[in-house]
Homo-oligomer: A and B are copies of this chain.
C-alpha cells in the first residue's frame, strides 16, 4: 500500500477510537465538547500512526493497540491547547480554527487540557497487552510527556524566547524535550506493547529520535517558507515571538541538510526490518522532510 493511503487508513482507525474514547456518562457536556473540539480538529495523527505501525511490525493486532495510540494523540492535543493559552504562546488559530480558549474561554481550555492528559493515561492503561508491558509503556510516556520531557521543554522554550542567547545545543535540547521525545516514545510504545525484543524496542527508539529531530527542524523551516493556508496557522510566528529556530541559527539550506541527515539516520535504524510496515516507515521518514504542512 502506498504510504499516504496507509497513513489515512491508520488515521481513520484512530479517529474512530478518539470519537468514542472520551464519551462516558460522567463527563460534563461542556468539558466533553471542549476536549472533542480540539481532539477531533483533524491533524495528521502522526503519533498514533507511529505507535500502530511499530506495533504491527512486531505482530500486534491493531485493535489491541488503538487505545494506546489514541492516548498519544490526547497528550499531543492537550499540549497544543495549553501552549496556545494567552499566558503561553497566545495563539488564536490552531489547525485553521479558533484555538480552544478562543472558542470556549481560558478556564475550560485549561480544564480540557487537564482532562485529555488524565484520560490519556486511562487509555494507555486499558491497552490489551501483558500488564508488565503496559506499565513499561506508561513509564516511558511519563518520561516523554512530563517535567523532564514535554512540559520541561515548554518551560525552556518560554524562558529562552526573546532572550537571543540560545545556542545550537540549547535549541536541540529544548526541541527534543518539547516535541522529539513524544514522537520517539510513540514508536517505542508500539514496539513495547507488541512485545518486541529489546533490540526491536531500541530500533523503534532510534528511528523515533531521528524523525522527531527531522520533524521539528522542518517545522521551523515551514514557519519561514510555508503557506498559512496549507499550515492552518500563521507563518512567521516564530520570528514575531523572538524564538530561536534552526533557520535563524544556521539558515534555511543548512537546516534542510540537518533534517535530511536525521532522515537518513532514521532510515538506517530500520536495517534488517522487512514487510509493509518497514516500507511505510522508510517512506514516512522521507515524507517528513519534504512535507508542506
Contact = CB atoms under 8 A, between A and B. Distances in A.
A22 interface: yes
A61 B172 CA distance: 43
A142 B88 CA distance: 26
B31 A152 contact: yes
A261 B32 CA distance: 34
Contacts of A125: 135, 138-139, 142
A113 B107 CA distance: 14
Contact of A147 (B32, B130, B155, B159): B32
A199 interface: no
A82 interface: yes
Interface in A75-130: 78, 82, 85, 87-88, 105-108, 110-111, 113-115, 117-119, 121-122, 125-126, 130
Contacts of A152: 26-28, 31, 115
11 contacts: A26-B148, A27-B148, A31-B152, A31-B155, A85-B110, A111-B154, A111-B155, A115-B152, A119-B146, A119-B147, A131-B134
Given A82-B111, A134-B135, 10 more contacts: A27-B148, A28-B147, A28-B155, A31-B152, A35-B147, A111-B151, A114-B151, A118-B146, A126-B139, A131-B135
Interface of A: 22, 24-28, 30-32, 35, 78, 82, 85, 87-88, 105-108, 110-111, 113-115, 117-119, 121-122, 125-126, 130-132, 134-135, 138-139, 142-143, 145-149, 151-152, 154-156, 158-159, 177
